[in-house]
Structure 1
């Protein structure tokens, strides 16, 4: 069963249900949903690898800055319990459970919901791995909901553990910025990798265009399209973050938000540039293929042209006439061969002088 089939099935289950009905929409998951949590201030940090729901509630209610990371959103009951504890609207919880959401941001009186895509580009594949990450930012708490285990947040965890920079001295808003910054930096890394692959593909096409090259171009076009769908809406998300004034995002964070805005603008520009390169690469492919075909036809034409006089000579002496004087001559056979070789040599010299090959 394909991904789209499963998504349609899940959406069909919601048909006729009232707004705010909680149904998981996404890939089928079998892993157990786990929760990790970090509570910290400038002096101390507490980490929980597999936190229970009660521990999470206690940490959220504490005065420390808390980061709760939920690995998996297919356990509807657990997500609903966490959401109710922090006072999320049912429609917000519904958005978290829908892993096919377009990047978006919603502001509320005491929290915000931000949904973005975390991307990865495997080395031996042109298919993007995308994972939806939903953020809940409150005064002292950041909650991240991921589709599965594994993320890009280890640098942030290391900064917290080693108290690097200002992250331990700042609030939940700076932690929220740091997590977004890691995700958006990955967009630029992926675009750099795509540029390298497109340049390498262009060299291969110029050297030897084949059907695999055309398949690679089409695969990369699909990848760039997916990047565009992911990166373009994020610009609006960051713009709203910068322009909206809320109590749980301090004024001094605006400068940092402007920095990730610049990254998103750059990523969008790179997407458009790569998209244009790929369409140009199609023209290069067909031009190179045409040139390759012309070279083949030129060689075949030269070979055919050389054999025209040789065929003429062979045709004459292949006629069965009784009164052909050369047929009874002792040296006629080698002389014919010598004549044909001389004609071939002269034609090759002529073609070479004309630079036809």
Structure 2
């Protein structure tokens, strides 16, 4: 709730400001923003940690393929300086600073802006970590703007260091594809995990439904809703990537982009399937709860039914009439007990034959 309030406050600050005004919209952060860079070709690779803007400008204008990664976009001045160095439009910089932006892609003459969400699912809860990643792709450079340190790009970094596959032999467009592929593969991993958890939850509900089960269903529904809001727009983004012909994305990359499209379609199908399963789980929950209540009522009804004749007998001999011959009989007390036990046994045998319990 606190995050939402801060987001609204930041949006309120933009009210009345001219288009292109740079205001960071997102969760308040205080950690230092860092910039790293990697320049490479098929023969050589150079890495730069906490690179200065002067050195960054040299790397950006080099002849090698370059990947610049900005960890943290809450430093508006730094993001603005990097954007001016690249030659981005102020509206593009404004979109990068808005971490609540819907996934999108915009094409320009010499670069594109892509905005997607990087996802991570907490191991033992339904908490979904959603981080916005903005991409700038030019002829020889990929720039990624992330909200914080830590990402899913380590496999790509390893491919670059060890020159695995064709990543060092191709241009920035293949690097751009590789980074997107890692993000979208994570969507499928999360959906597989969600499927397993929902199946486990279904088994628990069938075995022992309780109020905690209903809470779990609602939490998973919220998580699936977040996934749907995140994954669904990406399909449009990838479609535009495939269909738009620009000079900085080579023709042979289209095949790889089609593979990404297939992953996104599959992820969307899995989201819809999980969403349907959760709504079905609600029916299972209420049905299981009703069955559990019926079992309880059946036991209580059997107990009450058994005690009806016993209460009747006890009521008769609890009356204080003078002429009750059984009261003077020596064996009347054990006889009554025997009769009660026989009645109880006969009723239990009858109920069992009727499969009432």
- Cα drift, residue 50 of structure 1: 1.6
- Cα drift, residue 340 of structure 1: 0.3
Distance in 2, matches of 1:57 and 1:304, equals 86
Match in the other structure for 2:7: 7
Match in the other structure for 2:300: 300
- The SS at the match of 1:100 is coil
Distance in 2, matches of 1:82 and 1:106, equals 18
Match in the other structure for 1:184: 184
- Give the structure-2-normalised TM-score: 0.99
Which residues in structure 2 correspond to 1:21-60 (within 5 Å)?
Answer: 21-60=21-60
- Cα drift, residue 125 of structure 1: 1.1
Q: Does 1:155 align with 2:155?
A: yes
Distance in 1, matches of 2:51 and 2:337, equals 93
Distance in 1, matches of 2:193 and 2:52, equals 40
Distance in 1, matches of 2:55 and 2:272, equals 46
Aligned pairs, number: 357
- The SS at the match of 1:21 is coil
Distance in 1, matches of 2:158 and 2:348, equals 72
Which residues in structure 2 correspond to 1:310-321 (within 5 Å)?
Answer: 310-321=310-321
Match in the other structure for 1:126: 126
- Cα drift, residue 229 of structure 1: 0.4
Q: What per-residue deviation string (whole Å, max 9, x for no partner) do you get for residues 297-339 of structure 1?
A: 0000000000000000000000011111111111111110111
Match in the other structure for 1:290: 290
Match in the other structure for 1:356: 356
- The SS at the match of 1:167 is coil
- The SS at the match of 1:190 is helix
Distance in 1, matches of 2:51 and 2:149, equals 15
Distance in 2, matches of 1:316 and 1:55, equals 104
Distance in 2, matches of 1:48 and 1:334, equals 97
More divergent stretch after superposition (17-26 vs 47-56): 47-56
Distance in 2, matches of 1:205 and 1:46, equals 55
Distance in 2, matches of 1:210 and 1:296, equals 14
Which residues in structure 2 correspond to 1:1-357 (within 5 Å)?
Answer: 2-357=2-357
Distance in 2, matches of 1:184 and 1:69, equals 18
- The SS at the match of 2:196 is helix
Q: Note the residue ranges of structure 2 that are not aligned, 5 or more in a row.
A: none
Distance in 2, matches of 1:132 and 1:49, equals 22
Give me the CA root mean square deviation: 0.6
- Cα drift, residue 4 of structure 1: 1.0
- Cα drift, residue 49 of structure 1: 2.1
- Cα drift, residue 147 of structure 1: 0.3
- The SS at the match of 2:92 is helix
Distance in 1, matches of 2:257 and 2:94, equals 27
Q: Note the residue ranges of structure 1 that are not aligned, 5 or more in a row.
A: none
- Cα drift, residue 289 of structure 1: 0.5
Distance in 2, matches of 1:177 and 1:55, equals 26
Q: What per-residue deviation string (whole Å, max 9, x for no partner) do you get for residues 157-214 of structure 1?
A: 0000000000000100000000000000000000000000000000001101001110
- Cα drift, residue 51 of structure 1: 1.3
- The SS at the match of 2:168 is helix
- Cα drift, residue 55 of structure 1: 1.7
- Cα drift, residue 54 of structure 1: 1.5
Q: What per-residue deviation string (whole Å, max 9, x for no partner) do you get for residues 32-56 of structure 1?
A: 0001111100001001122122221
- Give the structure-1-normalised TM-score: 0.99
- Cα drift, residue 262 of structure 1: 0.3
